[in-house]
Amino acid sequence: MIQKHDASSLHYDFRLEVGGVLRSWAVPKGLSTDPRDKRLAMPTEDHPMDYIDFEGVIPKGQYGGGPVIVWDNGTFENTTTRKGTAIDLAQALDAGHATVWLEGRKLTGGYAITRVATGKDERWLVVKMKDEAADARRNPVGTQPESVLSGRTVEDLVEEDG
């Protein structure tokens, strides 16, 4: 699942269920459907599974204060292989490279996630793989801003919150 989160800066929280928790990355520009786009992803804390349908406004002053919607959700399959052998997703992420096949409401198809820097400034890149779901013109982040659960946007949530 992917949350759109308008905190101190707008970002998309990309979360994959791995070993009973949600492994998470903050992706400032969101995931692209264009294989030429390399989207920066900063790892964040694992989140518990019950966060999977969280929408709401985190109060100002709290960590991550601001509106959150469920921008996309669905199932995924780990497709990581090395030399033709399937690799467990937790192991693949520990090694710094995994591929997944998403079956989301907005995003589908293969994505590669690769660690490009370690340590205090750990950084990953998320890239759409070349398959039938790749589309350089679609721009779902720009054209489909609404929640897949409620149809609301982060702006709607702020208005409702007063």
Radius of gyration of the chain (CA): 16
Contacting range for Mn ion; rule: CB under 5 A; set: 4-12, 29-37, 102-110, 136-144: 4-12
Q: Which long-range contacts (CB under 8 A, 24 or more apart) does 151-159 make?
A: 152/55, 152/69, 153/69, 154/4, 154/5, 154/6, 154/10, 154/66, 154/67, 154/68, 154/69, 155/67, 157/55, 157/56, 157/57, 157/67, 157/68, 157/69, 158/6, 158/57, 158/67
The binding track of 8-47 with respect to Mn ion, each residue x by CB under 5 A or -, is -----x----------------------------------
Task: Give yes or no for residue 5 binding Mn ion (CB under 5 A).
Answer: yes
Contacting range for Mn ion; rule: CB under 5 A; set: 3-11, 77-85, 107-115, 121-129: 3-11
Residue placing its CB nearer to Mn ion in the complex, 2 or 100: 2
Query: In degrees rounded to 5, what are phi and psi of residue 106?
Result: -105, -45
Task: Give yes or no for residue 72 binding Mn ion (CB under 5 A).
Answer: no
Task: Provide, rounded to whole angstroms, the least separation between the CB of residue 1 and Mn ion.
Answer: 12
Task: Provide, rounded to whole angstroms, the least separation between the CB of residue 11 and Mn ion.
Answer: 6
Chain position whose Cβ is nearest to Mn ion: 5
The residues binding Mn ion (CB under 5 A) are 5, 13
